[in-house]
Amino acid sequence: MALRGRCRDAVPSIVADYRATIGIEHDQADLDAGNQLTMPVTVVQQDRSRHLGFDATATWRPWAADLEHFTTQAGHFMAAEAPEDIATPILNLVKR
**pLDDT, tens digit (0-9, with 9 covering 90-100), for 53-72:** 778 888 889 999 999 998 88
What confidence tens digit (pLDDT) does each residue in 16-29 have? 666 666 777 888 89
Q: What is the pLDDT of residue 82?
A: 87
Cα 94 from Cα 96, distance rounded (Å): 6
* Dihedral, CA of residue 13, residue 17, residue 23 and residue 27, to nearest 10: -40
Which pLDDT does position 89 carry in this prediction? 92
Distance, in Å, from the CA atom of 37 to the CA atom of 60, rounded to the nearest integer, reads 10
